[in-house]
Amino acid sequence: MLGLFFLQKRGALVGLKNTTSQYGSVAKWIHWITALCFLLAYITIHYSHRLEFRSPEYMTVIYLHASLGITVGVLFLPRLIWRLINPEPELDPAPKWQHRAAKSAHWALYFVLIAMPLTGWFGFGIPWFEYFGMFEIPSFLGTGIFETPLVTNLGLTFEEWEAPLDYFHKNIMGQKVLILLLLVHIGAALYHHFGAKDDTLRRMLPGGNPRC
69 near ligand HEM (CB under 6 A): yes
72 near ligand HEM (CB under 6 A): yes
170 near ligand HEM (CB under 6 A): yes
Please select the residue that binds ligand HEM; options are 174, 199, 200, 203, rule is CB under 6 A: 174
* 3-state DSSP assignment of residue 128: strand
121 near ligand HEM (CB under 6 A): yes
Please select the residue that binds ligand HEM; options are 169, 192, 200, 203, rule is CB under 6 A: 169
How many other CB atoms are found less than 10 A from the CB of residue 176? 11
27 near ligand HEM (CB under 6 A): no
* 3-state DSSP assignment of residue 35: helix
CB 145 within 8 A of CB 91: no
Q: Which residues of 92-122 are buried (b: 16+ CB within 10 A; e: fewer)?
A: eeeeeebeeebeeeeebbeebbebbbbbbbb
- Residue 20 CB, shortest distance to ligand HEM, in Å, is 30
66 near ligand HEM (CB under 6 A): yes
Residue 137: φ, ψ to 5°:
-120, 130
175 near ligand HEM (CB under 6 A): yes
Task: Give the whole-angstrom CA distance, residue 145 versus residue 136.
Answer: 17
Q: Compare residues 166 and 199 and give the one whose CB is closer to ligand HEM.
A: 166
**Residue 119's closest CA among 70, 154, 53?**
70
45 near ligand HEM (CB under 6 A): yes
- Residue 207 CB, shortest distance to ligand HEM, in Å, is 26
Q: Which residues bind ligand HEM (CB under 6 A)?
A: 38, 41-42, 45, 62, 65-66, 69-70, 72, 116-117, 120-121, 124, 139, 169-170, 174-175
